[in-house]
Chains A and B, each alone.
Chain A
Amino acid sequence: MKKLLCYLKDYKKETVLGPLFKLLEASFELFVPLVMAAIIDVGIVNQDLPYILKMGGVLVILAFIGFVCAVFAQFFAAKAAVGFAANVRKAIFDNIQKRTYSQMDSFGTSTMINRLTADVNQVQTGVNLVLRLFLRSPFIVFGAMIMAFTVDVKGALIFVVTIPLLAVVVFTILLVSIPLYKKVQNALDAVVTKTRENLTGIRVIRAFSMEEKEVADYDDKVAVYKHLQLFAGRVGAFMNPVTFTIVNVATLFILWQGAGQVDTGVLTQGELIALVNYMAQILVELIKLANLIITVTRSLAGADRIADMLEEKVGEENGGEAVEGVKEITFRNVSFRYKNAGADALQNLSFTVKKGDIVGIIGGTGSGKTTLVNLAAGFYQATDGEVLVNGKALCDKDLATYREHFSMVPQTAVLFSGTIKENLQWGKENATEEEMWHALTLADAAEFTQKKEKGLDSEVLQGGKNFSGGQRQRLSMARSFIKDADVFVLDDSTSALDYATEARVRQGIRKLSEDSICFIVSQRAASIMDADLILVLDNGELVGKGVHKELLADCSVYREIYSSQFPLEEEVQHA
Chain B
Amino acid sequence: MRKNTLYMIFKYIKANTVLLMLSLLLALITVAGTLLLPILTGKGVDLILGPGNVDYEGVLALITFAAVVIGITMIAQFLMNLCNNRMVANVVERMRRDAIRKIQHLPIRYVDGNAYGKVVNCIIADVDTFSEGLLMGFSQIFTGVLTILGTLVFMFTIDVKVTLIVVLVTPLSFFVAGFVSKKTFTMFTAQSKARGALTGFIDEMVGNQKIVRAFGREEESMEQFEILNDELQKVSLKAIFFSSLTNPSTRFINALVYAGVGVFGAFCVMDPETAMTVGELSCFLSYANQYTKPFNEISGVIAEFQNALACANHFFAFLEEEEEKDAVDLLHQVVSDAEERKESKGNAATEDKNAAKTAEEKKQGSVEIRNVTFSYAPEQKLIENFSLKVSPGERVAIVGPTGCGKTTLINLLMRFYDVKNGEILLDGTEIQEMDRQELRSHYGMVLQETWLKKGTIRENIAFGRPEATQEEVEAAARKAHAHGFISRMPNGYDTMILEDGGNLSNGQKQLLCIARIMLTDPEMLILDEATSSIDTRTELKIQDAFATLMEGRTSFIVAHRLSTIRNADTILVMKNGNVIEQGNHEELLARKGFYYELYQAQWA
B153: A residues at CB distance < 8 A = none
Q: Which of B435-462 contact A (CB under 8 A)?
A: 436-437, 440-441, 443-445, 447, 449, 451, 453-454
A198: B residues at CB distance < 8 A = 100, 103-104
Q: Is the interface of A mostly helix, strand, loop or mixed?
A: helix
B539: A residues at CB distance < 8 A = 564
Which chain A residue has the least Cβ–Cβ distance from B401? A498
Q: Which of B78-132 contact A (CB under 8 A)?
A: 78, 81-82, 85-86, 89-90, 92-93, 96-97, 99-101, 103-104, 108, 111, 116, 119-120, 123-124
CB–CB B263/A426 < 8 A: no
A93: B residues at CB distance < 8 A = 202, 206, 222, 225, 229
**Please, how many angstroms separate the alpha-carbon atoms of A365 and B210 in the complex?**
20
Interface string of B43-55 (1 = CB under 8 A from A): 0110111111110
B599: A residues at CB distance < 8 A = 572
**Please, how many angstroms separate the alpha-carbon atoms of A565 and B538 in the complex?**
12
Query: Contacts A117-B199, A199-B119 given: A410-B214 contact, CB under 8 Å?
Result: yes
CB–CB A249/B124 < 8 A: no
Query: A64: which of B81, B252, B270, B534 is its contact (CB, 8 Å)?
Result: B252
30 contacts between A and B (CB under 8 A): A35-B262, A39-B262, A40-B269, A49-B270, A67-B251, A67-B252, A79-B237, A93-B206, A97-B209, A97-B221, A195-B99, A195-B103, A202-B111, A203-B447, A208-B464, A216-B332, A218-B96, A223-B93, A230-B89, A242-B74, A263-B56, A268-B50, A406-B214, A408-B211, A408-B215, A410-B211, A499-B604, A523-B536, A560-B537, A575-B596
Interface string of A93-113 (1 = CB under 8 A from B): 110111101001000010011
Which chain B residue has the least Cβ–Cβ distance from A132? B244
CB–CB B263/A199 < 8 A: no
- Known A219-B100, A263-B48; 9 more pairs at CB < 8 Å: A39-B263, A55-B263, A67-B251, A82-B233, A244-B73, A269-B278, A403-B216, A560-B537, A564-B539
CB–CB A245/B70 < 8 A: yes
> Is residue A540 within 8 Å, beta carbon to beta carbon, of the partner chain?
no
User: Which of B472-480, B499-507, B575-583 is near enough to bind chain A?
Assistant: B499-507
CB–CB B74/A59 < 8 A: no
CB–CB B116/A59 < 8 A: no
CB–CB A44/B229 < 8 A: no
B interface size (C-beta, 8 A): 154
Interface string of A206-244 (1 = CB under 8 A from B): 111111111110110011011001100110111011101
User: Which of A152-160, A169-177, A273-281 is near enough to bind chain B?
Assistant: A273-281
CB–CB B416/A215 < 8 A: no
**Please, how many angstroms separate the alpha-carbon atoms of A494 and B123 in the complex?**
41
B466: A residues at CB distance < 8 A = 213
CB–CB A207/B123 < 8 A: no
Query: Contacts A113-B203, A365-B533 given: A259-B97 contact, CB under 8 Å?
Result: no
CB–CB B59/A256 < 8 A: yes
User: Which of B155-163, B280-288, B418-426 is near enough to bind chain A?
Assistant: B280-288
> Is residue A462 within 8 Å, beta carbon to beta carbon, of the partner chain?
yes
Query: A219: which of B56, B71, B97, B260 is its contact (CB, 8 Å)?
Result: B97
**Please, how many angstroms separate the alpha-carbon atoms of A93 and B201 in the complex?**
11
> Is residue A138 within 8 Å, beta carbon to beta carbon, of the partner chain?
no
Q: Is the interface of B mostly helix, strand, loop or mixed?
A: helix
CB–CB A273/B535 < 8 A: no
> Is residue A32 within 8 Å, beta carbon to beta carbon, of the partner chain?
yes
Query: Contacts A223-B93, A567-B563 given: A241-B75 contact, CB under 8 Å?
Result: yes
Q: Which of B66, B74, B259 has the most CB of A within 10 A?
A: B259
**Please, how many angstroms separate the alpha-carbon atoms of A86 and B235 in the complex?**
12
CB–CB B249/A63 < 8 A: no
Interface string of B489-519 (1 = CB under 8 A from A): 0100000000110000111100000000000
Query: Contacts A71-B248, A233-B89, A564-B539 given: A56-B262 contact, CB under 8 Å?
Result: yes
- Please provide the 8 A-B residue pairs with the shortest distance between their CB atoms, ordered closest to farther: A63-B255, A237-B81, A70-B248, A56-B263, A59-B259, A364-B535, A233-B85, A265-B51
CB–CB A410/B210 < 8 A: yes
User: Which of A141-149, A185-193, A442-450 is near enough to bind chain B?
Assistant: A185-193
> Is residue A416 within 8 Å, beta carbon to beta carbon, of the partner chain?
yes
CB–CB B63/A256 < 8 A: yes
CB–CB B499/A32 < 8 A: no
CB–CB A208/B207 < 8 A: no
CB distance from B589 to the nearest CB of A (A): 5
CB distance from B539 to the nearest CB of A (A): 7
Which chain B residue has the least Cβ–Cβ distance from A258? B48
CB distance from A535 to the nearest CB of B (A): 16
CB–CB B255/A66 < 8 A: yes
B601: A residues at CB distance < 8 A = 498-500
Which chain A residue has the least Cβ–Cβ distance from B217? A426
Interface string of B377-390 (1 = CB under 8 A from A): 00000000000000
> Is residue B181 within 8 Å, beta carbon to beta carbon, of the partner chain?
no
**Please, how many angstroms separate the alpha-carbon atoms of A343 and B331 in the complex?**
48
> Is residue A566 within 8 Å, beta carbon to beta carbon, of the partner chain?
yes
Query: B218: which of A35, A81, A97, A273 is its contact (CB, 8 Å)?
Result: A97
CB distance from A216 to the nearest CB of B (A): 8
**Please, how many angstroms separate the alpha-carbon atoms of A64 and B254 in the complex?**
11
Which chain A residue has the least Cβ–Cβ distance from B103? A198
Q: Which of B503-552 contact A (CB under 8 A)?
A: 505-508, 520, 533-540
A16: B residues at CB distance < 8 A = none
Which chain A residue has the least Cβ–Cβ distance from B70? A248
CB–CB A208/B123 < 8 A: no
CB distance from A65 to the nearest CB of B (A): 10
**Please, how many angstroms separate the alpha-carbon atoms of A198 and B96 in the complex?**
13
CB–CB A75/B241 < 8 A: yes
Interface string of A532-575 (1 = CB under 8 A from B): 00000000000000000000000001001100111101011001
> Is residue A471 within 8 Å, beta carbon to beta carbon, of the partner chain?
no
**Please, how many angstroms separate the alpha-carbon atoms of A101 and B208 in the complex?**
11
> Is residue A116 within 8 Å, beta carbon to beta carbon, of the partner chain?
yes
> Is residue A384 within 8 Å, beta carbon to beta carbon, of the partner chain?
no
Q: Which of A40, A43, A259, A277 has the most CB of B within 10 A?
A: A259
> Is residue B213 within 8 Å, beta carbon to beta carbon, of the partner chain?
yes
CB distance from B144 to the nearest CB of A (A): 15
CB distance from B322 to the nearest CB of A (A): 16
**Please, how many angstroms separate the alpha-carbon atoms of A343 and B489 in the complex?**
11
> Is residue B330 within 8 Å, beta carbon to beta carbon, of the partner chain?
yes
Q: Which of A274-325 contact B (CB under 8 A)?
A: 276-277, 280
> Is residue A36 within 8 Å, beta carbon to beta carbon, of the partner chain?
yes
**Please, how many angstroms separate the alpha-carbon atoms of A252 and B67 in the complex?**
8
Query: A566: which of B56, B230, B255, B603 is its contact (CB, 8 Å)?
Result: B603
CB distance from A236 to the nearest CB of B (A): 7
Query: Contacts A199-B116, A204-B451 given: A78-B244 contact, CB under 8 Å?
Result: yes
CB distance from B459 to the nearest CB of A (A): 11
> Is residue A6 within 8 Å, beta carbon to beta carbon, of the partner chain?
no
